[in-house]
């Protein structure tokens, strides 16, 4: 006889939205069951954010050592011969980082007394799903349901994943480095990985259908990244469409802006043209939930159109970011426990781990006479100069309302600038004024001083520029 579990809360999906919701539900004393077919942690932890940052970290070390092996060395440091990279060993180390975090999530769920069912869930109605586990079928019925099924990389119909056509998942687990990598899509995933592979000595070409790289960011923020790509020999083809592989599968056929065709040879072809919500294969069609285009429609409490069914994370729309999903998961758990919560963030930070890094929080410039825009360059920041981050065109920019000086947006590009994303977000969430930022003592020497100086400059009295 098949097992049937009755639970207060049923969560489908063990990514950052699902597992955070489950842990918080457990903390609040709610009987919680979570279903996950893969390893706990989701895309971000297992095959996305964390493993990619691990590879980016190694690539930075390798690049530094390569520079030290050049004729004149680097800062008095020299190597007698160039370093070698065993990418299989890099992948093994990266997998160790992932394993540690996966184990941590498993332990946290156990401590919160969350029941985890390993298997693929398929809903047969709004509150009940059948889970195909290794030991047979398990039916789970929940009084309240959270849908947290995440997203998948978009596959191009003429470049199906398989063989030498890879997604970011396969790129992070290659047994060895390719000699030549062709990246299709110049968004943040494609460029983060493309830059990392270039640092590791791989020849890289990028194909982008639009007229610019990183189209989600403004031209000023992107300029330092474009400068790095050019300096390091990464060929970027803008307004160029991929059309498929050549007959032997050794080159990518493309058509340029003038309609002329070309073949770009490569060993691997990395497709990074976006992600889509995982809405197929688990019985969404059996549930009476409204859709908003390809996404599940929710209100500001993440409630779907079906009573006692919530949806969170990538499933409900942009931005498809871990920190959005995790926040929504926590909020929904507290709503289920009777607390009054709403998902109404002042801003959600976006970070691009390119070279250099980009951070954007809140409003971009564009309000004309109603706003103040000021920026401070890292070329005038002591900490940036002391770690060679002052000459790449990086800066911090502040956007504020002209009438009351309320900070509306903060953007920055520069080395390690991702670490300031929290401070930027905090300012917007707390409704900070330019005077609040200017009046806060920032430690010296740190990159955060550039943020302080940008606020001072917006008020008309920057000190160091």
Given a contact cutoff of 8 angstroms between Cβ atoms, the answer to whether 191 and 225 are in contact is: yes
Distance separating alpha carbons of residues 163 and 160, to the nearest angstrom: 9
List the structure tokens of 261.
């065709």
Residues 6+ apart with CB under 8 A from 48: 168
Residues 6+ apart with CB under 8 A from 143: 7, 8, 9, 127, 308
Q: Which residue has the tokens 């006692």?
A: 308
Spot the catalytic one: 6, 444, 452, 464: 444
Q: Count CA within 13 A, CB hemisphere, residue 117.
A: 28
Q: Which helix (H) or strand (E) holds 451?
A: helix 448-458
Beta partners for 398?
Answer: 374, 410
Distance separating alpha carbons of residues 85 and 177, to the nearest angstrom: 9
DSSP type of residue 433: B
Directed axis angle between helix 421-429 and helix 448-458, to 10°? Answer: 40
DSSP type of residue 159: B
Q: Which residue has the tokens 């009084």?
A: 143
Residues 6+ apart with CB under 8 A from 160: none
Whether 4 is catalytic is: no
Q: Which residue has the tokens 């954010």?
A: 49
Residues 6+ apart with CB under 8 A from 305: 288, 289, 290, 297
Pick from 165, 190, 205, 173: which is nearest to 87 by CA? 173
Distance separating alpha carbons of residues 98 and 159, to the nearest angstrom: 29
The CA-based diameter of the chain, rounded to the nearest angstrom, is 76
Distance separating alpha carbons of residues 227 and 210, to the nearest angstrom: 18
DSSP type of residue 155: P
Distance separating alpha carbons of residues 197 and 178, to the nearest angstrom: 9
Count each helix (H run) and each strand (E run) in the chain, helices first: 12, 24
Catalytic (active-site) positions: 444
């Amino acid at each position: 006889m098949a097992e049937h579990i009755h639970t207060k809360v049923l969560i489908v999906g063990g990514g950052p939205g699902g597992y955070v919701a489950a842990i918080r539900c457990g903390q609040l004393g709610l009987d919680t069951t979570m279903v996950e077919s893969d390893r706990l942690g989701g895309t971000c932890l297992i095959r996305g954010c964390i493993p990619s940052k691990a590879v980016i970290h190694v690539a930075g070390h390798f690049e530094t050592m390569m520079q030290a092996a050049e004729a004149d060395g680097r800062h008095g440091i020299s190597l007698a011969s160039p370093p070698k990279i065993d990418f299989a060993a890099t992948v093994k180390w990266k997998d160790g980082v992932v394993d540690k975090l996966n184990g941590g999530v498993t332990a946290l769920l156990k401590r919160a007394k969350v029941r985890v069912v390993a298997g693929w869930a398929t809903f047969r109605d709004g509150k009940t799903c059948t889970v195909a586990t290794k030991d047979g079928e398990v039916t789970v019925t929940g009084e309240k349901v959270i849908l947290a099924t995440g997203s998948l990389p978009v596959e191009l119909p003429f470049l199906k994943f398989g063989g030498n056509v890879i997604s970011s998942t396969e790129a992070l687990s290659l047994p060895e480095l390719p000699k030549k990598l062709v990246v299709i899509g110049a968004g943040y995933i494609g460029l983060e990985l493309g830059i990392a592979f270039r640092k590791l000595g791989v020849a890289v070409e990028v194909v982008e259908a639009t007229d610019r790289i990183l189209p989600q960011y403004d031209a000023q923020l992107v300029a330092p990244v474009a400068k790095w790509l050019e300096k390091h020999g990464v060929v970027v083809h803008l307004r160029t469409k991929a059309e498929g592989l050549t007959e032997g599968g050794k080159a990518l056929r493309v058509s340029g802006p003038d309609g002329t065709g070309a073949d770009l040879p490569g060993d691997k072809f990395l497709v990074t043209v976006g992600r889509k919500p995982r809405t197929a294969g688990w019985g969404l069609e059996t549930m009476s939930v409204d859709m908003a285009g390809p996404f599940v429609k929710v209100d500001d409490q993440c409630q779907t159109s079906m009573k006692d069914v919530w949806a969170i994370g990538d499933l409900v729309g942009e931005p498809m970011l871990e920190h959005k999903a995790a926040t929504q998961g926590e909020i929904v758990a507290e709503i289920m426990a009777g607390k009054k919560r709403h998902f109404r963030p002042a801003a959600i930070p976006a970070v691009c781990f390119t070279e250099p890094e980009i951070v954007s929080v809140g409003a971009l410039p564009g309000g004309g006479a109603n706003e103040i825009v000021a920026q401070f360059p890292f070329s005038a920041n002591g900490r940036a100069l002391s770690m060679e981050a002052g000459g790449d065109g990086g800066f911090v920019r502040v956007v504020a309302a002209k009438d009351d000086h309320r900070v509306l947006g903060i953007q920055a590009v520069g080395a390690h600038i991702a670490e300031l994303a929290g401070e930027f977000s905090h300012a917007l969430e707390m409704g900070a004024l330019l005077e609040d930022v200017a009046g806060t003592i920032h430690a010296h020497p740190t990159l955060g001083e550039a943020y302080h100086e940008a606020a001072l400059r917006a008020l008309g009295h920057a000190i160091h520029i």
